[in-house]
Amino acid sequence: MRHFESLHQFSVNEITDLLQLADKLKSGYRPLMGQTFAVNLFFEPSTRTKSSFVMAEHKLGMEVLDFQAETSSVKKGETLYDTAKTMEAIGANMLVIRHADDNWMEELSGRLTIPVINAGSGKTEHPTQGLLDLLTIYQEFGTFRGLKIAICGDIIHSRVAHSNAQALKRMGATVYLCAAPGFEDDSLPYPYITIDEAVDECDVIMLLRIQHERHEGHWHIAYYLQDFGMTKDRESRMKNHAIIMHPAPVNRGVEIDSDLVECKRSRIFKQMENGVYARMAIITKMMEEWGMYHAPAFKKYQITANKGTVANM
């Protein structure tokens, strides 16, 4: 049985199914049967990924337990496995985990009886972000075949870049990378182009967040926007139908001119909206694979009425 560790695990058909399920959930859904418990274990700060999962879980009718790594036994040196196993023991039906280690999934592999969803692992993977990005492109173009997509920014430090590039290629897109000096990752097998080439040629420009503290003296942050970012001038030169994406949080005025964050081409807030449905699709798929989708362990809304009869629900 699979955890949701990486988009690499899923075939092109399976990814297409997930995209279509997410799209369908957007126009209507209903809660899971029974009382199911989602436990979110975030060992790194997160606003949007965590909130997005919490929202997805609530929309599916799950009960949500949040784990604050800052106020927890992890401070006492407990292993991730023991924490996860504890949550399984107390009745979690699913775990969502973000952790700074690159390979934390290996510690859990084959050792749990409930599915785990990777909400971020070090700088290697962020597959639910990957799926929501694919969903946003799929909704726009209906296909990936023939699309030219540039991933631009802090490639070396970005788990989004790693998660997305291979999936996009497998789905049929042509992937380009674009990075300021010091941000390249030579291990990725995609051609580098300049931001201006990307602007002229590509259907999708996926900007990445710059982490100020990480650039290495090759350039000055004050000039990043002008030299490597999405200026108003560059936006005006993009193809008619081309779109701008960013996983957020955005550094306004660094990766992108502040005025462009909500411009017509921008899909930035649409990506966030899509994140909820992408995650609902992933949760649904995992719960189905693990045989828990219809688990009526406890009928959440079944109440014994005052007179001793059971409501027929």
Residues at the interface with its own copies (CB under 8 A): 29-31, 33, 35, 37, 39, 42, 45-48, 51-52, 54-55, 58-59, 63, 65-79, 82-83, 85-91, 248-252, 261, 269-270, 272-273, 275-276, 296, 298, 300-306, 311-313
Instruction: Between 62 and 175, name the residue whose CB sits nearer to its own copies.
Output: 62
Instruction: Between 35 and 231, name the residue whose CB sits nearer to its own copies.
Output: 35
Residues 215 and 182 sit within 8 Å (Cβ to Cβ): yes
In the complex, minimum distance from the CB of residue 80 to its own copies, in angstroms, rounded to a whole number: 12
Residue 109: CB partners within 8 Å, gap ≥ 6?
3
> What tokens were used for 134?
């694919």
In the complex, minimum distance from the CB of residue 275 to its own copies, in angstroms, rounded to a whole number: 7
Residue 81: CB partners within 8 Å, gap ≥ 6?
107, 108, 111
Instruction: Between 117 and 198, name the residue whose CB sits nearer to its own copies.
Output: 117
In the complex, minimum distance from the CB of residue 45 to its own copies, in angstroms, rounded to a whole number: 5
Instruction: Between 148 and 300, name the residue whose CB sits nearer to its own copies.
Output: 300
Instruction: Between 226 and 302, name the residue whose CB sits nearer to its own copies.
Output: 302
In the complex, minimum distance from the CB of residue 145 to its own copies, in angstroms, rounded to a whole number: 29
In the complex, minimum distance from the CB of residue 255 to its own copies, in angstroms, rounded to a whole number: 12
Q: Nearest CA to 15 among 7, 26, 23?
A: 7
Instruction: Between 173 and 247, name the residue whose CB sits nearer to its own copies.
Output: 247
Distance (Å, whole) CA 190 – CA 153: 14
Sheet containing 148-152: give its strands across.
174-178, 148-152, 204-207, 243-245
In the complex, minimum distance from the CB of residue 269 to its own copies, in angstroms, rounded to a whole number: 4
Residues 258 and 35 sit within 8 Å (Cβ to Cβ): no
* HSE-CB for 56 with a 13 A CA cutoff: 30
**Nearest 5°: CA angle at 49, between 48 and 52?**
80
In the complex, minimum distance from the CB of residue 196 to its own copies, in angstroms, rounded to a whole number: 27
Could you give the C-alpha distances from 149 to 180, 202, 243, 256, 301, in angstroms and in order?
A: 17, 6, 10, 17, 47
Distance (Å, whole) CA 219 – CA 216: 8
Instruction: Between 198 and 206, name the residue whose CB sits nearer to its own copies.
Output: 206
Residue with tokens 């300049």: 194
SS3 label, residue 207: strand
Instruction: Between 132 and 165, name the residue whose CB sits nearer to its own copies.
Output: 132
**Nearest 5°: CA angle at 208, between 212 and 135?**
155
In the complex, minimum distance from the CB of residue 5 to its own copies, in angstroms, rounded to a whole number: 23
